[in-house]
Amino acid sequence: LTKHFFTVGPAALYPKIDEFFSEFVESGYGSISHRSAQFREMYAATDRALRRLLNIPSDFAVFFCGSASEIWERILFNTVIERSCHFSNGDFSRRFYEYATALGIQSTIIENKPGKAFDSNHLDLLSVPYELITCCFNETSTGVSISNEWVSAMRKKQPSALIAVDLVSAVPLMDFDFANADMAYFSGQKGFGLPTGIGVWIVHPRCLDKAKDKLAKGHSIGAHHTLPKLFKHYSHFETPSTPNVLGVYLLGKIAEDLDKANLIALKNKQQIRSDFLYSFFDQSSLIPFVKEKEIRSPSTIVIETNDKTESIFQELLAQGLIVSKGYGKFKDKHLRIANFPANLMMEVEFIRLVEAFKDHF
Protein backbone atom coordinates (compact mmCIF):
# COMPACT_ATOMS: atom_id res chain seq x y z
CA LEU A 1 0.00 0.00 0.00
CA THR A 2 1.52 3.30 -1.11
CA LYS A 3 1.45 5.97 1.58
CA HIS A 4 0.20 9.47 0.80
CA PHE A 5 1.08 12.06 3.40
CA PHE A 6 -1.23 14.93 4.33
CA THR A 7 0.81 15.40 7.51
CA VAL A 8 1.64 18.96 8.60
CA GLY A 9 5.35 18.30 9.11
CA PRO A 10 7.48 16.44 8.41
CA ALA A 11 5.13 16.71 5.44
CA ALA A 12 4.87 14.95 2.08
CA LEU A 13 8.19 15.09 0.24
CA TYR A 14 8.21 17.24 -2.88
CA PRO A 15 7.31 15.00 -5.84
CA LYS A 16 10.57 15.52 -7.77
CA ILE A 17 12.78 14.87 -4.73
CA ASP A 18 14.25 11.64 -6.19
CA GLU A 19 15.18 13.36 -9.41
CA PHE A 20 16.83 16.28 -7.59
CA PHE A 21 18.73 13.90 -5.28
CA SER A 22 20.11 11.98 -8.28
CA GLU A 23 21.25 15.23 -9.88
CA PHE A 24 22.92 16.18 -6.59
CA VAL A 25 24.86 12.90 -6.43
CA GLU A 26 25.77 12.83 -10.13
CA SER A 27 27.04 16.42 -10.07
CA GLY A 28 29.40 15.53 -7.23
CA TYR A 29 27.75 18.15 -4.98
CA GLY A 30 27.79 15.67 -2.08
CA SER A 31 31.55 15.98 -1.85
CA ILE A 32 32.22 19.67 -2.51
CA SER A 33 33.66 22.08 0.06
CA HIS A 34 31.60 25.00 1.36
CA ARG A 35 34.60 27.13 0.34
CA SER A 36 34.40 26.13 -3.35
CA ALA A 37 33.07 28.10 -6.33
CA GLN A 38 30.52 25.35 -6.94
CA PHE A 39 29.07 25.80 -3.47
CA ARG A 40 29.02 29.59 -3.79
CA GLU A 41 27.05 29.28 -7.04
CA MET A 42 24.63 26.86 -5.37
CA TYR A 43 24.12 29.18 -2.38
CA ALA A 44 23.58 32.17 -4.72
CA ALA A 45 21.05 30.21 -6.81
CA THR A 46 19.05 29.10 -3.76
CA ASP A 47 19.19 32.63 -2.34
CA ARG A 48 17.91 34.06 -5.67
CA ALA A 49 15.10 31.50 -5.96
CA LEU A 50 13.92 32.03 -2.36
CA ARG A 51 13.96 35.82 -2.74
CA ARG A 52 11.80 35.65 -5.84
CA LEU A 53 9.41 33.08 -4.38
CA LEU A 54 8.92 34.71 -0.98
CA ASN A 55 9.39 38.37 -1.94
CA ILE A 56 12.35 38.81 0.39
CA PRO A 57 13.59 42.42 0.17
CA SER A 58 17.15 42.89 -1.07
CA ASP A 59 18.52 44.18 2.26
CA PHE A 60 17.73 40.92 4.12
CA ALA A 61 20.33 38.11 4.19
CA VAL A 62 19.44 34.41 3.86
CA PHE A 63 21.27 31.98 6.19
CA PHE A 64 21.12 28.21 6.67
CA CYS A 65 20.98 26.47 10.08
CA GLY A 66 20.02 22.97 11.19
CA SER A 67 16.39 23.59 12.17
CA ALA A 68 13.89 26.25 13.21
CA SER A 69 14.47 25.22 16.86
CA GLU A 70 18.16 26.01 16.51
CA ILE A 71 17.21 29.39 15.04
CA TRP A 72 15.13 30.27 18.15
CA GLU A 73 18.28 29.96 20.23
CA ARG A 74 20.41 31.84 17.66
CA ILE A 75 17.94 34.75 17.60
CA LEU A 76 18.02 35.01 21.39
CA PHE A 77 21.83 34.77 21.64
CA ASN A 78 22.41 37.35 18.95
CA THR A 79 19.76 39.96 19.62
CA VAL A 80 18.72 39.93 23.29
CA ILE A 81 20.63 41.10 26.36
CA GLU A 82 17.79 41.41 28.88
CA ARG A 83 14.19 41.35 27.70
CA SER A 84 12.14 39.53 25.10
CA CYS A 85 8.41 39.13 24.60
CA HIS A 86 6.70 36.19 22.91
CA PHE A 87 3.17 36.15 21.54
CA SER A 88 1.86 32.62 21.82
CA ASN A 89 -1.34 30.91 20.85
CA GLY A 90 -0.01 27.40 20.52
CA ASP A 91 2.81 25.08 21.51
CA PHE A 92 5.39 26.16 18.95
CA SER A 93 5.18 29.88 19.67
CA ARG A 94 5.27 29.01 23.39
CA ARG A 95 8.46 27.02 22.98
CA PHE A 96 10.33 30.11 21.78
CA TYR A 97 9.50 31.69 25.17
CA GLU A 98 10.74 28.57 26.96
CA TYR A 99 14.05 28.79 25.07
CA ALA A 100 14.40 32.43 26.22
CA THR A 101 13.76 31.43 29.83
CA ALA A 102 16.35 28.64 29.59
CA LEU A 103 18.92 31.22 28.50
CA GLY A 104 18.24 33.36 31.57
CA ILE A 105 16.48 36.13 29.63
CA GLN A 106 13.72 38.10 31.41
CA SER A 107 11.07 36.99 29.00
CA THR A 108 7.37 37.72 28.90
CA ILE A 109 4.74 35.56 27.26
CA ILE A 110 1.51 37.06 25.96
CA GLU A 111 -0.67 34.04 25.61
CA ASN A 112 -4.02 33.70 23.91
CA LYS A 113 -6.34 30.71 23.96
CA PRO A 114 -5.27 28.18 21.31
CA GLY A 115 -7.05 28.84 18.03
CA LYS A 116 -8.12 32.39 18.90
CA ALA A 117 -7.04 35.62 17.19
CA PHE A 118 -4.77 38.23 18.67
CA ASP A 119 -6.23 41.74 18.65
CA SER A 120 -5.30 45.25 19.76
CA ASN A 121 -5.97 44.35 23.41
CA HIS A 122 -3.06 41.93 23.28
CA LEU A 123 -0.85 44.66 21.85
CA ASP A 124 -1.73 46.87 24.83
CA LEU A 125 -0.04 44.26 27.04
CA LEU A 126 3.32 45.37 25.60
CA SER A 127 3.90 47.53 28.65
CA VAL A 128 7.69 47.84 28.82
CA PRO A 129 10.20 48.22 25.98
CA TYR A 130 11.45 44.87 24.65
CA GLU A 131 14.57 44.14 22.63
CA LEU A 132 12.84 41.33 20.75
CA ILE A 133 9.19 40.50 20.07
CA THR A 134 8.24 37.21 18.43
CA CYS A 135 5.11 35.74 16.91
CA CYS A 136 4.13 32.81 14.75
CA PHE A 137 2.52 33.67 11.40
CA ASN A 138 0.92 30.24 11.17
CA GLU A 139 0.67 28.05 14.28
CA THR A 140 1.15 24.47 13.07
CA SER A 141 -0.19 23.12 16.37
CA THR A 142 -3.61 24.82 16.09
CA GLY A 143 -4.04 26.04 12.50
CA VAL A 144 -4.41 29.70 13.38
CA SER A 145 -2.74 32.37 11.28
CA ILE A 146 -1.88 36.01 11.94
CA SER A 147 -2.47 38.83 9.45
CA ASN A 148 0.20 41.13 8.05
CA GLU A 149 -1.87 44.02 9.40
CA TRP A 150 -1.60 42.69 12.95
CA VAL A 151 2.21 42.25 12.64
CA SER A 152 2.38 45.79 11.29
CA ALA A 153 0.37 47.09 14.26
CA MET A 154 2.76 45.26 16.61
CA ARG A 155 5.71 46.94 14.94
CA LYS A 156 4.09 50.37 15.28
CA LYS A 157 3.47 49.70 18.97
CA GLN A 158 7.18 49.12 19.65
CA PRO A 159 9.17 50.51 16.73
CA SER A 160 12.49 50.05 18.53
CA ALA A 161 12.06 46.31 19.17
CA LEU A 162 13.38 43.72 16.75
CA ILE A 163 10.55 41.57 15.38
CA ALA A 164 11.08 37.86 14.60
CA VAL A 165 8.32 35.96 12.79
CA ASP A 166 7.98 32.17 12.56
CA LEU A 167 7.05 31.26 8.97
CA VAL A 168 7.57 27.51 9.45
CA SER A 169 4.29 26.31 7.98
CA ALA A 170 3.37 29.56 6.20
CA VAL A 171 5.92 29.35 3.40
CA PRO A 172 5.94 29.14 0.45
CA LEU A 173 2.34 30.09 -0.42
CA MET A 174 1.11 32.46 2.31
CA ASP A 175 2.06 36.08 1.61
CA PHE A 176 4.21 37.52 4.37
CA ASP A 177 5.21 41.19 4.29
CA PHE A 178 8.86 41.33 5.34
CA ALA A 179 8.59 45.12 5.81
CA ASN A 180 7.04 44.36 9.23
CA ALA A 181 9.88 42.15 10.46
CA ASP A 182 13.59 42.16 11.20
CA MET A 183 13.91 38.38 11.08
CA ALA A 184 11.87 35.46 9.82
CA TYR A 185 12.63 31.75 9.72
CA PHE A 186 11.30 28.40 8.59
CA SER A 187 12.34 24.78 8.27
CA GLY A 188 12.44 22.76 5.05
CA GLN A 189 10.19 19.84 6.00
CA LYS A 190 6.84 21.65 5.86
CA GLY A 191 5.76 23.63 2.77
CA PHE A 192 8.90 22.93 0.76
CA GLY A 193 8.66 19.15 1.13
CA LEU A 194 12.34 18.60 2.01
CA PRO A 195 13.71 15.94 4.33
CA THR A 196 14.30 17.39 7.82
CA GLY A 197 17.65 18.93 8.75
CA ILE A 198 17.64 22.47 7.39
CA GLY A 199 16.37 25.74 8.84
CA VAL A 200 16.39 29.03 6.93
CA TRP A 201 17.01 32.28 8.78
CA ILE A 202 16.20 35.52 6.95
CA VAL A 203 17.83 38.48 8.69
CA HIS A 204 17.92 42.26 8.31
CA PRO A 205 21.29 43.97 8.99
CA ARG A 206 19.64 45.80 11.94
CA CYS A 207 20.00 42.48 13.78
CA LEU A 208 23.72 42.39 13.00
CA ASP A 209 24.04 45.85 14.54
CA LYS A 210 22.31 44.56 17.66
CA ALA A 211 24.62 41.53 17.85
CA LYS A 212 27.69 43.78 17.54
CA ASP A 213 26.29 46.06 20.22
CA LYS A 214 25.72 43.09 22.54
CA LEU A 215 29.31 41.93 21.95
CA ALA A 216 30.68 45.44 22.50
CA LYS A 217 28.90 45.57 25.86
CA GLY A 218 30.82 42.46 26.92
CA HIS A 219 28.10 39.82 26.46
CA SER A 220 28.52 36.54 24.62
CA ILE A 221 26.48 36.02 21.45
CA GLY A 222 27.32 32.31 21.35
CA ALA A 223 30.04 30.68 19.26
CA HIS A 224 28.22 28.77 16.51
CA HIS A 225 26.22 30.50 13.76
CA THR A 226 26.71 34.03 15.13
CA LEU A 227 25.39 36.91 13.04
CA PRO A 228 28.78 38.64 12.58
CA LYS A 229 30.25 35.39 11.18
CA LEU A 230 27.14 34.55 9.11
CA PHE A 231 27.01 38.03 7.55
CA LYS A 232 30.76 38.06 6.87
CA HIS A 233 30.69 34.78 4.96
CA TYR A 234 27.37 35.58 3.28
CA SER A 235 29.01 38.54 1.55
CA HIS A 236 30.63 35.98 -0.78
CA PHE A 237 27.97 33.25 -0.49
CA GLU A 238 29.88 31.06 1.94
CA THR A 239 28.98 29.78 5.41
CA PRO A 240 31.06 29.90 8.64
CA SER A 241 30.92 26.10 9.09
CA THR A 242 29.80 23.22 6.90
CA PRO A 243 26.07 23.60 6.20
CA ASN A 244 23.54 20.98 5.08
CA VAL A 245 24.63 21.21 1.42
CA LEU A 246 21.98 18.73 0.23
CA GLY A 247 19.34 20.86 1.96
CA VAL A 248 20.65 24.06 0.33
CA TYR A 249 20.55 22.36 -3.07
CA LEU A 250 17.08 20.80 -2.72
CA LEU A 251 15.61 24.02 -1.36
CA GLY A 252 16.89 25.94 -4.38
CA LYS A 253 15.66 23.34 -6.88
CA ILE A 254 12.21 23.15 -5.29
CA ALA A 255 11.92 26.95 -5.04
CA GLU A 256 12.82 27.24 -8.74
CA ASP A 257 10.37 24.49 -9.62
CA LEU A 258 7.55 26.16 -7.68
CA ASP A 259 8.32 29.47 -9.34
CA LYS A 260 8.11 27.88 -12.80
CA ALA A 261 4.86 26.08 -11.85
CA ASN A 262 2.89 29.35 -11.87
CA LEU A 263 2.96 30.53 -8.32
CA ILE A 264 -0.23 32.59 -8.52
CA ALA A 265 -2.19 29.55 -9.67
CA LEU A 266 -0.72 27.51 -6.80
CA LYS A 267 -1.63 30.20 -4.24
CA ASN A 268 -5.16 30.28 -5.64
CA LYS A 269 -5.39 26.54 -5.44
CA GLN A 270 -4.27 26.56 -1.80
CA GLN A 271 -7.00 29.10 -1.03
CA ILE A 272 -9.67 27.21 -2.98
CA ARG A 273 -8.87 23.90 -1.31
CA SER A 274 -8.74 25.37 2.16
CA ASP A 275 -12.02 27.28 1.61
CA PHE A 276 -13.55 24.02 0.41
CA LEU A 277 -12.25 22.03 3.41
CA TYR A 278 -13.36 24.61 5.98
CA SER A 279 -16.90 24.88 4.55
CA PHE A 280 -17.00 21.08 4.15
CA PHE A 281 -16.14 20.54 7.83
CA ASP A 282 -18.31 23.50 8.95
CA GLN A 283 -21.29 21.48 7.69
CA SER A 284 -20.20 18.37 9.58
CA SER A 285 -19.85 17.35 13.19
CA LEU A 286 -16.07 17.48 12.73
CA ILE A 287 -15.97 21.26 12.97
CA PRO A 288 -12.82 23.30 12.34
CA PHE A 289 -10.95 24.16 15.53
CA VAL A 290 -10.44 27.77 14.45
CA LYS A 291 -13.85 29.48 14.39
CA GLU A 292 -12.96 32.96 13.10
CA LYS A 293 -12.75 32.72 9.32
CA GLU A 294 -10.19 35.54 8.92
CA ILE A 295 -7.52 33.68 10.86
CA ARG A 296 -8.08 30.15 9.54
CA SER A 297 -4.80 28.88 8.14
CA PRO A 298 -4.88 28.01 4.42
CA SER A 299 -1.93 25.59 4.87
CA THR A 300 -2.88 23.76 8.08
CA ILE A 301 -6.51 22.69 8.53
CA VAL A 302 -7.28 21.55 12.07
CA ILE A 303 -10.59 19.84 12.87
CA GLU A 304 -12.18 18.73 16.12
CA THR A 305 -12.52 14.97 15.85
CA ASN A 306 -12.71 14.36 19.64
CA ASP A 307 -13.60 10.72 20.43
CA LYS A 308 -13.50 9.81 16.73
CA THR A 309 -9.84 10.88 16.38
CA GLU A 310 -8.23 7.45 16.59
CA SER A 311 -10.87 5.64 14.52
CA ILE A 312 -10.79 8.15 11.66
CA PHE A 313 -6.99 8.23 11.77
CA GLN A 314 -6.83 4.42 11.53
CA GLU A 315 -9.45 4.25 8.81
CA LEU A 316 -7.52 6.75 6.67
CA LEU A 317 -4.28 4.91 7.42
CA ALA A 318 -5.81 1.66 6.15
CA GLN A 319 -6.36 3.46 2.84
CA GLY A 320 -2.76 4.71 2.77
CA LEU A 321 -3.81 8.25 3.65
CA ILE A 322 -1.87 9.76 6.53
CA VAL A 323 -2.88 12.92 8.37
CA SER A 324 -1.44 14.41 11.58
CA LYS A 325 -3.06 13.91 14.95
CA GLY A 326 -3.54 16.93 17.19
CA TYR A 327 -0.56 18.52 18.88
CA GLY A 328 0.25 18.42 22.58
CA LYS A 329 -2.88 18.45 24.74
CA PHE A 330 -5.04 18.13 21.59
CA LYS A 331 -3.32 14.90 20.51
CA ASP A 332 -6.44 12.77 20.92
CA LYS A 333 -8.96 15.49 20.02
CA HIS A 334 -7.84 16.93 16.68
CA LEU A 335 -6.76 15.84 13.27
CA ARG A 336 -4.59 18.18 11.19
CA ILE A 337 -4.54 18.18 7.38
CA ALA A 338 -1.70 19.77 5.41
CA ASN A 339 -2.40 21.90 2.35
CA PHE A 340 1.16 22.47 1.13
CA PRO A 341 2.38 22.51 -2.51
CA ALA A 342 3.11 18.74 -2.49
CA ASN A 343 -0.48 18.12 -1.29
CA LEU A 344 -1.89 20.46 -3.94
CA MET A 345 -0.17 18.26 -6.54
CA MET A 346 -2.15 15.21 -5.31
CA GLU A 347 -5.56 15.10 -7.01
CA VAL A 348 -6.92 11.59 -6.67
CA GLU A 349 -5.68 11.22 -3.12
CA PHE A 350 -7.29 14.49 -2.10
CA ILE A 351 -10.67 13.31 -3.43
CA ARG A 352 -10.23 9.98 -1.61
CA LEU A 353 -9.41 11.87 1.59
CA VAL A 354 -12.56 13.97 1.34
CA GLU A 355 -14.70 10.91 0.55
CA ALA A 356 -13.32 9.07 3.57
CA PHE A 357 -14.30 11.95 5.86
CA LYS A 358 -17.87 12.00 4.49
CA ASP A 359 -18.60 8.74 6.28
CA HIS A 360 -18.16 10.49 9.60
CA PHE A 361 -20.47 13.45 9.13
Residues in the site for a copy of itself, rule: CB under 8 A?
A: 3, 5, 7, 10-13, 17-18, 21-22, 24-25, 28, 30-34, 65-67, 69-70, 72-73, 76, 98-100, 102-104, 187, 189, 195-198, 220-226, 241-247, 322, 324
| 79 vs 73: CA distance, rounded Å | 10
Considering the complex, what minimum distance in angstroms separates the CB of residue 195 from a copy of itself? 4
CB-count burial class (<10 Å; 0-12, 13-18, 19+) for 68? buried
Considering the complex, what minimum distance in angstroms separates the CB of residue 197 from a copy of itself? 3
Beta bridge partner(s), residue 88: 111
Considering the complex, what minimum distance in angstroms separates the CB of residue 268 from a copy of itself? 25
CB closer to a copy of itself out of 100 and 255: 100
Burial 130-167 (b: 16+ CB within 10 A, else e): bbbbbbbbbbbbbbbbbebebbebbbeebeebbbbbbb
| 147 vs 254: CA distance, rounded Å | 26
Considering the complex, what minimum distance in angstroms separates the CB of residue 352 from a copy of itself? 17
| 34 vs 52: CA distance, rounded Å | 24
| 75 vs 50: CA distance, rounded Å | 21
Residues in Cβ contact with 117 at an 8 Å cutoff, skipping those fewer than 6 apart: 144, 146, 292, 294, 295
CB closer to a copy of itself out of 202 and 246: 246
Other CB atoms within a 10 A radius of the CB of residue 341 amount to 27
CB closer to a copy of itself out of 17 and 354: 17
Considering the complex, what minimum distance in angstroms separates the CB of residue 109 from a copy of itself? 15
CB closer to a copy of itself out of 34 and 94: 34
Considering the complex, what minimum distance in angstroms separates the CB of residue 146 from a copy of itself? 22
CB closer to a copy of itself out of 172 and 180: 172
CB closer to a copy of itself out of 63 and 99: 99
